[in-house]
Structure 1
Amino acid sequence: MDVEVRASPTLLQIIQHNNGVVVVEASHKVYPELQSLSAVNVKHVHRTGYHFQPPKHWINGPMYYNGIYHLFYQYNPEGAVWGNIVWAHSVSKDLINWEALEPAIYPSKPFDINGCWSGSATILPGNKPVILYTGIDPQQRQLQNYAVPTNLSDPYLRKWTKPDNNPLVVPVQGINATAFRDPTTAWWGNDGHWRMLVGGKRKHRGMAFLYRSRDFVNWVKAKHPLHSSADTGMWECPDFYPVSKRGKTGLDTSFMGQSVKYVLKVSLDLTRYEYYTVGKYVRNEDKYVPDNTSADGWSGLRYDYGNFYASKTFFDAALNRRILWGWANESDTRDE
């Protein structure tokens, strides 16, 4: 689908208090001649008042840590179209007023030298945050890497280090190395394993590949995906999290208990819309089974029916709620 990329998308937040999941159209059309063409700063009156927007240029894994909201996002620091992508970083104490910091991750190692793509943040035991992200190596393979704060005493976590044991996960035989990206927030199981998903496809079948680890460093691919669906194409930015059937509070991604359903969301590269199902997570089989309440594919439910794509949720431990973020394109043409 060939749809023009608009300049400087804005990040839209939707706060979720229960299992009412409130999602769209975008593209990666490439303009090499404009990737490093700087945009001008605009007056505040012309900027969005509610949706997050960087000082200038093009944007595309939020986290709450020690009283600070951290927003990481795909960003081109050199131009107003897609390209030169880094992980930009902004912080806030109220989700309204934001301070832009220097990029947290940028291409610098063999495992990400050709791009630092989307991923997620997880808080490990001992209150230690870690970022999982997709990097592109010199062979154009998509690899799953991690980064950790360089200085945990810095409240803003300005600097991030990529350990030398990267990459954590590489595409093995049977996985399309150019369609293998966007690791989810990991969740902890009562069997002592962490789990995460990586989006992909097998021919025309969309896939949520499942990986397990005891130490968050050594990851093993499960024999079967958590879920897949025929004729849906590449699954970008998968998201998987529990929601409560009772009450209005959100749940931590690793929550285990009764009266819980699960949401699996995927961003379909073929349609540039987001689709979700609600269902059951069979823990002893590591299998997700959608309820028979909506189609499991591009004729199914969307978070939103407007301009919204590549979303990500995180659990706000301060207010016990789950917050959904996604990006929306502006209406400007490439020349504006």
Structure 2
Amino acid sequence: LHLFYQYNPKGATWGNIVWAHSVSKDLINWIPLEPAIYPSKVFDKYGTWSGSATILPGNKPVILYTGIVDVTKHKSKNYAIPANMSDPYLRKWIKPDNNPLIVADKNINKIQFRDPTTAWMGRDGYWRVLVGSVRNHRGKVIMYKSNKNFMKWTKAKHPLHSAQGTGNWECPDFFPVSLKNENGLDTSYDGKDVKHVLKVSFDVTRFDHYTVGTYDTKKDKYFPDNTSIDGWKGLRLDYGN
């Protein structure tokens, strides 16, 4: 098992963020390894912020992460892959030179644009990923699509979901949950008796909230149930800060 997390190797305060990496066989005992991702390229020179991992066909892991490209904190979406798949610890990760994969267009706030989710594949064979953002105090998750090669991404015509007055959305997660059993589902699962969960972190409050609802796979739109409230009055994931 691999755990990646945001970490400041220089102190217990925010800053100098790298991707720390630990491994475990039982989720109890963990072995810390050297950082997997740290600023080293022109597309992440000023920071390597949050993102997610996706397992591609052939059991090949890939990490999508947020790179800080300049002192104004403009952000891009980059990828990293293991340098040696035969290493069970996956100690070393490389960031290919064809990065970045995703950059903000003129209609996107380039500063409030971060934290790509784990990707999922639709019935049409296209990968999808979400990136947190905001426009005029309306928090949203922007969807991007890619063909099977995972390398060329195009912004969808509309966000998967948004909510007025919620401010910038960070660290989104989007995944299916079964209504029939307690087993987890692959992010690409598309079947009966399923609801979807959209979790976001509100930059205004620094709290994580979530809604439960329905994902319309034909329209690529998410609709929270009537019992799920968008915003900081809704369901809260935890009470940490």
TM-score range, shorter chain: over 0.9
CA shift, 1:274, in A, is 1.1
**Structure 2 gap ranges (5+):** none
TM-score by length of 2: 0.97
Report the counterpart of residue 182 of structure 2 in structure 1.
Answer: 248
Report the counterpart of residue 236 of structure 1 in structure 2.
Answer: 170
The SS at the match of 2:28 is: coil
Match of 1:263 among 187, 193, 197: 197
> Aligned equivalents of 1:248 and 1:129: distance in 2?
25
CA shift, 1:296, in A, is 1.2
Quick check: which has more Rg, 1 or 2? 1
Match of 1:92 among 15, 19, 24: 24
CA shift, 1:247, in A, is 1.3
Query: How many corresponding residue pairs?
Result: 239
Match of 2:40 among 108, 111, 123: 108
> Aligned equivalents of 1:95 and 1:77: distance in 2?
23
- Percentage identity across paired residues of the two chains: 67
Report the counterpart of residue 215 of structure 2 in structure 1.
Answer: 281
Report the counterpart of residue 146 of structure 1 in structure 2.
Answer: 79
**Structure 1 gap ranges (5+):** 1-68, 309-336
CA shift, 1:84, in A, is 1.1
Which residue identity lines up with residue 284 of structure 1 in the other structure?
K
CA shift, 1:78, in A, is 1.5
Report the counterpart of residue 54 of structure 1 in structure 2.
Answer: none
Pair 1:217-2:151 in alignment:
yes
Pair 1:181-2:151 in alignment:
no
> Aligned equivalents of 1:82 and 1:265: distance in 2?
22
Which runs of structure 2 are paired with 1:57-136 in the superposition (5 Å)? 69-136=1-68
CA shift, 1:224, in A, is 0.1
Match of 1:167 among 88, 100, 116: 100
CA shift, 1:294, in A, is 2.5
Q: Which string of whole-angstrom CA distances, capped at 9 and with x for unpartnered residues, describes residues 13-37 of structure 1?
A: xxxxxxxxxxxxxxxxxxxxxxxxx
TM-score by length of 1: 0.70
> Aligned equivalents of 1:249 and 1:71: distance in 2?
20
Q: Which string of whole-angstrom CA distances, capped at 9 and with x for unpartnered residues, describes residues 181-240 of structure 1?
A: 000000011101000000000120001000000021100000100000000001000000
Which residue identity lines up with residue 201 of structure 1 in the other structure?
V
Q: Please report the RMSD computed on the Cα atoms of aligned residues, expressed in angstroms.
A: 0.9
Which portions of structure 1, spanning 4 or more consecutive aligned residues, are displaced by more than 6 angstroms? none
